[in-house]
Amino acid sequence: MNPKERSWIVNESFFHAEQVPYYETIMTIGNGYLGTRGSFAESYARELPSTLVHGVFNHHPSDQVPDLANVPAWYAVKLTVDGEVFKLDQGTILGYRRWLDMRMGTLNRQILWESHAGKIIRVEFSRLASMDNQHLLLQQIKLTALDDMEIKCALFFDYENAFNVAYAEEGARRVSHWTDVQNGNDYWQGTTNQSGYVVALTHHIDVDQSLESYAEGDNRGQQFTASLKNGESLDVKRYVTIASSRDSGKVADYARQQLSEAVNTGYLDLEARNAAVWQDLWSDMDVVIKGDELAQLAIRFVTYHLLIAAPRHDEHVSIGAKTLSGFGYKGHVFWDTELFMLPPFTFSRPKIARNLLMYRYHNLAGAREKAAEAGYRGAMFPWESTDTGRETTPRWTLPGKDGNRIRIWTGDHEQHISSDIAYAVWQFWQWTGDNDFFANYGAELILDTAIFWESRVEWNEAQQRYELHEQIGPDEFHENVDNPVFTNRLTIWHMQHAIRTMQWLQQHAPEKAAALATQLGISDDNLSQWQHIADHMYIPRYGELKVYEQFDGYFERNYVHVPTYSPRSGNIDVILGHRRTNESQVIKQADVVMLMALLAEEMGDKEELLRNWRTYLPRTAHDSSLSPAIHAWVGARLGLVDEAYELWMKGAGLDLENNKGNVRDGIHAAACGGLRQAVLLGFAGLHLSGNGWAVRPQLPEWWRSVSFTIYYRGRRQPIIINND
Amino acid sequence: MNPKERSWIVNESFFHAEQVPYYETIMTIGNGYLGTRGSFAESYARELPSTLVHGVFNHHPSDQVPDLANVPAWYAVKLTVDGEVFKLDQGTILGYRRWLDMRMGTLNRQILWESHAGKIIRVEFSRLASMDNQHLLLQQIKLTALDDMEIKCALFFDYENAFNVAYAEEGARRVSHWTDVQNGNDYWQGTTNQSGYVVALTHHIDVDQSLESYAEGDNRGQQFTASLKNGESLDVKRYVTIASSRDSGKVADYARQQLSEAVNTGYLDLEARNAAVWQDLWSDMDVVIKGDELAQLAIRFVTYHLLIAAPRHDEHVSIGAKTLSGFGYKGHVFWDTELFMLPPFTFSRPKIARNLLMYRYHNLAGAREKAAEAGYRGAMFPWESTDTGRETTPRWTLPGKDGNRIRIWTGDHEQHISSDIAYAVWQFWQWTGDNDFFANYGAELILDTAIFWESRVEWNEAQQRYELHEQIGPDEFHENVDNPVFTNRLTIWHMQHAIRTMQWLQQHAPEKAAALATQLGISDDNLSQWQHIADHMYIPRYGELKVYEQFDGYFERNYVHVPTYSPRSGNIDVILGHRRTNESQVIKQADVVMLMALLAEEMGDKEELLRNWRTYLPRTAHDSSLSPAIHAWVGARLGLVDEAYELWMKGAGLDLENNKGNVRDGIHAAACGGLRQAVLLGFAGLHLSGNGWAVRPQLPEWWRSVSFTIYYRGRRQPIIINND
């Protein structure tokens, strides 16, 4: 492959059993409706196969919280060669290659395999999740005999694989979410046992020869036999459709209708249609970096994984922290979406960003419920969100080595998420100028969360200031602290922009302003109060140079020089221990620096920002995958291009190098979004300026150019920045 | 790392026990005198540690043939932390990174490690083989305590590691070559048990604190203890010298003298001197490819491994097929040197090429002996050569799975090596204009091997032509064939150039001409006979289009379409079986195409060459690592740039991707040399033209430029080819 091809391809040259769960994740295919990990058509010991469908959550009785229900493996194939089962860990692998082609979302595999009996067969697989019809999956299998042989082939839905897998410190636990299962030759249907979603799979097989079918055991799936002479080939094409009761009340009919239309269209045309939609998506979303092959591959990799995860036709679902590529975080939606994954779409494919924001709008009820339960007013969004919009953060960790569970406080106290959502709404509106969205949906999100903060802040009479106690900022090494700069400062921003929102509504959509004022109970008093909070919110600072103090008393904790603990792939809190970490200044991830990313110059002049950067960098463990890309973004804006590049590469290595060793649980989706933002907003320095956009490039000197496409106020704008 | 740095670095991010033998090979350090595999200072189960010194061969009584005797591990360190031995497979690896910096030949490693008892230590290793003083090796160890701890450190020569390892189909066999061993705290000496070479190692340790020494068991090596507080560091610098009886009659004195001078010079200065020589070497040998990071890394990687293997101060040794980086082929010298590894030096660092050619000159006696034993005249070079110049090809393989051994015929019948050497001599002379070398040494090599051929060729009276029976060409899948085009055609070339050699001598060095005529017994009759052979040597051709027929009857064998057997990492003769392969047209490697590389237009016009290319490519298995690069070279010259690039990358993947899975046995050195030739002579199209050199670029379109340095007739010439 030449460099141009290499930057579109994720490649695996050898089969290593222990790498199965890693490649499964990075070779996930998907289409914004579902995601299928790159698990093999034949099954292996360490695999974590999953097909996850957006929105199909289920709260299994044995779990604390719901997760996405795993659908049977729609691509399962049992192949025998003269009676021997084709498996890579049996017989001999004479050659192997697997590659994900990100241009059109196809996962391909070629194997030259010899059975124990010495029969040689070349097996080629290809699969895709259609971007054109989100219910459609395609699989092609080509078998070439290099000896005379009889093959048997069974294509079925592997219900045995439809388990969710959770990790305790030792070993995995498997849970099935399904009940009322119908499992037939060309049809599978199941109902989630708590939430009652019905999911149906059906398939059609085309073989290029007339073959005898045979009955395999319980007769699940479609089977055939073929006698092949040395040199003969067999081509199998499989059409699969998946639908759920979220799509239609008549799931079976719907899935069969989709299948029938697909079969009528034909395999080649379906492939072409998928490729055409991919081409269209890439025309907006591709970022071309000349002069840096690895960065080019990395930016396409993160974009690919955002594209296959982002719902394009559904505004009632959003992207989980691990997308649909693994069981990590159970498919739950965090702030990761609004501040990391969503902005790339805001800039370059705003329709998708709108869907993601609408998910929050449709889930305002859950946020209001959470606020009320905690004794507050307005809307307080859950730290972890699923299909119900209710708080679904587990309260306890799984038991550790010592059998003990640890209380998880984020669902209680990581309250900045409500402002994170408001920030994303505002940012979307500023870039798109989508007044319809803002007036009808976005404003309500900003205002009702502002009402929450108004009820949440604490007035310190002695100091004549507002404070926030018992909070968790981005740095989750320090839980339940007082006055985290991140949350306090975003609250100021929130108050200011809630006022601006109301003022804009009053001016441009007065009926909506009046309706919302009534509905949410907003009077002029509230606006005055918001201004008062913005003016009197406490922001801790430290020392003569008044660097931001991450939270009250942060600098009184023990200093640990984090760079000494390198190289390091594990988390530093595991090394130092939970208590020692908590009592130190070691921070998990960008926190004050995250704020510098979001608010930029509003946080201070360049000298002040550099002072804070130099303060926090040696204290930062980057133990959250959210950290390196944000540092790259801020570092680039501060002109620290070499440092920024190193941090960007560290972020890119999370998935591409598995440098934290946890890729099996799913893609680091926030890192994906962060890396795109670091290129556009950091290295290219894209920003809003006056009534338009501008760039302020700080490119690594070896980048010859970077180019990408943005939409500003509905207008498509390709941008090329040459590095002269 | 940015792209500029990445192209100088071979990186390993995780420790995987099963990858130990792979990384050991690619992270070999060396200086043209010795090579040390990248084995760890502490020892592991799968390791194949070796330090091999050029020329120190020994024929162990249990072996068929000699091999290079493995010297004790000079870098061995035993480190304990509060009594626990530091080992990566014990305790916990909290972080790991190892990298070879090819700019200056340093191998570095950083580990963050936690003992079972929970003590954390950061361990940093660095080693180099000095390019400035070829007897000198340097090792630095930095220990940083991240808890309070007592460490013990023993630095010793690991004699237990001084075994050679040979593979049978199952399991390894270990052989020690040493006798009369002296093993002390700062000194090791051994004598090879058959050849009688004496090798000595000595070392000096500098520690930046005054420490207590302790006695470890049998008191080998130097030991100390240290109590470190959390945050404290300890810096250990080790100077090692190695010498042999090939260097001095007083080995011990010599090694100690070298050590004493090194210690007086000091570690930092020694590092600087090493770096300076590397810089000088790279100034001639670097190839810069812009627009292709992977190709840039690959070309530096192959150059690095040629540079560390090539003797710079010794003309009595040459480079083995696996350099000094592994036990493969026992350090023996094949045609790989003259036709693959040597030309890169001829073009860009001719002094080194001269040394390599002189090795053959000094070993003429062995070649004459081999010719005489076989009943021929002149000099017939051995297929495998060591320190004696005698044939050292084993006659039998190691027993296979079935316990059977197979007869190895190459030592008997792969006779083209004598012409390969003559070709390399002529090429060196044409590029360098080194008349002194040619008159005094090179001419004799060409002439005495010509005399061999004169006595070897067989006159076919019926056909009125010369033939060669029972030969092996480059394609070793077909042994003992008649009239291989490769050998027959090179014999014509040989005869022609032997005549030109004699004519040039008579004109420019008449005394030498006369002396050689007397010494070798060359009269005008011989020259006439050589011309007759050149005019009447049979070259098999086939069909109406008269493609070259690789040997008599080749096209009557069974056709097997090799591309069907893909992807494939194993050899096709193993898949098809020895007999079926032999009876087919499947060829192991470039054979007719190799001839097209060497003789270029002399083999035909472009159409004819393309015809032969298209004929042989689908029949070629590339199962020898010598094949892909040669195809890339020829393909590029034929303007098939994309095909050529794919083949070049396949060649680069032999070591960098381990795509044949055999890197543990050593670097694919011929591939290294072939890849450099493919860039210079293929893609850049460098060639001799009239009275000078010229380029005829056929660059891949994504290469923005390629630049390198050549010496033509003593004049240094940097070349930059921009791809416009």
What pLDDT digit, counting tens, does each position of A195-212 carry?
999 999 999 999 987 666
Which residues contact residue B214 at a Cβ distance below 8 angstroms, ignoring those fewer than 6 apart?
B152, B223, B224, B225
What are the angstrom distances between the C-alpha of B601 and each of A500, B288, B498, B606, B637? Answer: 79, 28, 20, 8, 10
- Euclidean distance between CA atoms A385 and A320, whole angstroms: 9
C-alpha distance from B570 to closest chain A C-alpha (Å) = 6
Percent of chain A predicted with pLDDT > 70: 98
Q: Which residues of A touch B645 (CB under 8 A)?
A: 2
Interatomic CA distance for residues A82 and A680, integer angstroms:
56
SS percent in chain A: helix, strand, coil, step 5: 40, 25, 35
Residue range B508-525: mean pLDDT, rounded = 97
Angle at B159 between CA B155 and CA B164, to 5 degrees: 135
Pairing outcome for strands B541-542 and A715-722: unpaired
Q: What integer is the mean pLDDT of B44-53? A: 94
Inter-chain residue contact A566 with B111, CB threshold 8 Å:
no
* Any A CB within 8 A of B703 CB: no
Q: How far apart are CA A330 and CA B202, in angstroms?
A: 60
Average pLDDT, integer, range A341-356: 98
Question: What are the C-alpha distances in Å from A142 to residues A85, A112, A685, B570?
Answer: 16, 12, 48, 22
Q: How confident is the model at residue A218 (pLDDT cuts 50, 70, 90)?
A: low
Asked if the Cβ–Cβ distance from A565 to B291 is below 8 Å, we say no
H/E run at residue B504: helix B485-508
Among B3, B97, B112, select the one facing A292 at the smallest CB separation: B3
Chain A environment of B569 (Cβ under 8 Å): 14, 93-96
Mean pLDDT confidence for B210-226: 72
In this predicted model, what pLDDT tens digit does every residue of A28-65 receive, in sequence order? 999 999 999 999 999 998 899 999 999 999 999 999 99
Provide the shortest C-alpha distance from residue B653 to chain A (in Å): 11
Is A642–B294 a contact, with Cβ atoms under 8 angstroms apart?
A: no
By CB neighbour count within 10 A (0-12 exposed, 13-18 middle, 19+ buried), where does B563 fall? exposed
Q: Is A83 left (phi over 0), alpha (psi -120 to 50) or beta?
A: left
B218–chain A nearest CA distance, Å: 35
Strand partners, A57: A68
Position B460 pLDDT exceeds 90: yes
pLDDT computed for residue B402 by the predictor? 77
What pLDDT is recorded for position B504? Answer: 98
Q: Residue B115: closest CA among chain A residues belongs to which residue?
A: A575
Q: Closest-CA residue in chain A for B573?
A: A94
* Segment B470-505, tens digit of pLDDT: 999 999 999 999 999 999 999 999 999 999 999 999
Banded model confidence at residue B210, pLDDT cuts 50, 70, 90 = low
pLDDT, averaged across chain A: 96
Residue of B nearest to A704 (CA): B291
pLDDT value at position A166?
82
Instruction: Name every chain B residue with its beta carbon within 8 A of the beta carbon of A567.
Output: 95-97, 110-112
Confidence of residue A400 (pLDDT cuts 50, 70, 90): confident
Q: What is the mean pLDDT of residues A454-483?
A: 98
* Chain B residues lying within 8 Å of A4, measured CB to CB: 702
Question: How far, in Å, are A356, A470, A544, B167, B168 from residue A554 at the CA level?
Answer: 35, 14, 16, 61, 63
Helix (H/G/I), strand (E/B), else coil: B699 = coil
| Burial (0-12, 13-18, 19+ Cβ within 10 Å), B537 | buried
pLDDT (mean) for A422-435: 98
Do A641 and A700 contact (CB within 8 A), yes or no? yes
- Nearest C-alpha of chain A: how many angstroms from B210? 24
Cβ–Cβ gap B702/A2 under 8 Å: yes
B1: nearest CA partner in chain A:
A646
At B208 the three-state DSSP class reads: coil
Which residues fall within 8 angstroms of residue A339, CB to CB, at 6 or more apart?
Answer: A420, A423, A424, A594, A598, A670
Taking CA–CA distances from A19, the nearest residue in chain B reads B16
Residue A653: what residue type?
G
Strands (DSSP E) contained in A409-562 are: 458-460, 465-467, 541-542, 547-548
Could you report the per-residue pLDDT of B606-649, keeping only the tens digit for each?
A: 999 999 999 999 999 999 999 999 999 999 999 999 999 999 99
How many Å is the Cα radius of gyration of chain B? 26
CA distance B569 to chain A (A): 5
Q: Mutating which of B1, B2, B18 best tests the A interface, going by the most A Cβ atoms within 10 A?
A: B2
Within 609-668 of B, beta carbons closer than 8 Å to A belong to 642, 645-646, 649, 653, 657, 659
Angle at alpha carbon of residue B451, lines to B449 and B456, rounded to 5°: 95
Q: Does A142 touch chain B (CB under 8 A)?
A: no
Let me know how long chain A is.
Answer: 724
pLDDT in tens, B548-569: 999 999 999 999 999 999 999 9
Q: Chain A partners of B568 at a C-beta cutoff of 8 Å?
A: 94-95, 112
B291/A contact by beta carbon, under 8 A? yes
**Can you say how many angstroms the Cα of residue A221 is from the centroid of all Cα atoms in its chain?**
33
Helical (H) or strand (E) element with B113: strand B106-114
Phi first, then psi, for residue B505 (nearest 5°) are -60, -45
What is the predicted pLDDT for the residue at A167? 76
Separation in Å, CA of A7 to nearest CA in chain B:
11
Cα–Cα distance list, B521 to B119, B513, B524 (Å): 77, 11, 10
Separation of alpha carbons A136 and A150, rounded Å: 31
Percent helix / strand / coil, chain B, rounded to 5: 40, 25, 35
What distance in Å separates the CA atoms of residue B470 and residue B411, rounded to the nearest whole number? 12
Cβ distance B27 to B105 under 8 Å? no
- Which one is catalytic: A24, A271, A476, A549? A476
Residue A68: in which H helix or E strand, if any? strand A67-70
Look-up of token digits 């040794």:
B317
Which chain A residues contact residue B2 at CB under 8 A?
292, 642, 645, 700, 702
Q: Which residue of A has its CA nearest to B647?
A: A1
Determine, for residues B95 and A13 on separate chains, whether the beta-carbon distance falls below 8 Å.
no
Element containing residue B693 per DSSP (H, E) = strand B692-694
Does the structure show a pLDDT above 90 at B212? no
Q: Are the C-beta atoms of A673 and A347 separated by less than 8 Å? A: no
Window B:559-618, CB contacts with A under 8 Å: 564-570, 575
**Bigger pLDDT: B1 or A86?**
A86
Q: How far apart are CA B485 and CA B602, in angstroms?
A: 14
Angle at the Cα of A572 from the Cα atoms of B87 and A469, rounded to 5 degrees: 165
Of A120, A564, A645, the CB nearest to B122: A564
pLDDT of amino acid A168: 64
Structure tokens, B306: 């040629």
| DSSP conformation class of A403 | S
CB contacts under 8 A, A 488-527 vs B, are: none
Chain A residues with CB under 8 Å of B3 CB are 291-294, 702
- Residue B551 and residue B485 in contact, taking contact as beta carbons nearer than 8 Å: yes
**Closest by CA position to A260, among listed A236, A235, A239:** A239
Distance from C-alpha of A681 to C-alpha of A23, rounded to nearest angstrom? 30
* Paired tokens of B32: 């043209």
Residues of B in contact with A564 (CB under 8 A): 122, 144, 146, 231
Say whether pLDDT at B220 is over 80. Answer: no
Residues in A closer than 8 angstroms to B6, CB to CB, are 294
Tens digits of residue pLDDT in A500-534? 999 999 999 999 999 999 999 999 999 999 999 99
pLDDT class of A293 with cuts at 50, 70, 90: very high
> Which DSSP state fits A562?
G
How does residue B143 score in pLDDT terms, banded at 50, 70 and 90? very high
Q: Is A476 annotated as catalytic?
A: yes
User: Phi, psi at residue A461, to the nearest 5°?
Assistant: -65, -40
The span from the CA of B711 to the CA of B396, in Å, is: 43
DSSP conformation letters of B8-61 = TEEEE-S--GGGHHHHHHHT-EE-SSEEE----SS--TT----EEEEEEEE--T
Chain A residues whose beta carbon lies within 8 Å of the beta carbon of residue B146:
564-565
A407/B582 Cα distance (integer angstroms): 70
Enumerate residues 235 to 274 of chain B having a beta carbon within 8 A of any beta carbon in chain A: none
Mark yes or no for CB contact A96/B293 under 8 Å: no
Q: What is the pTM of this model?
A: 0.96
**Given A565, A567, A645, which is nearest B2 (Cβ)?**
A645
A·B CB contacts under 8 A: 104
Q: Are B448 and B520 in contact (CB under 8 A)?
A: yes
Q: How far is it, in rounded angstroms, from Cα B520 to Cα B502?
A: 12
User: Under an 8 A CB cutoff, do B570 and A95 touch?
Assistant: yes
B115, B575, B699: best to mutate for the A interface, most A CBs within 10 A: B575
Of B427, B541, B448, the C-alpha closest to B489 is: B541
Cβ <8 Å between A13 and B659: yes
Asked if B567 and A95 come within 8 Å (Cβ–Cβ), the reply is yes
Residue of A nearest to B6 (CA): A294
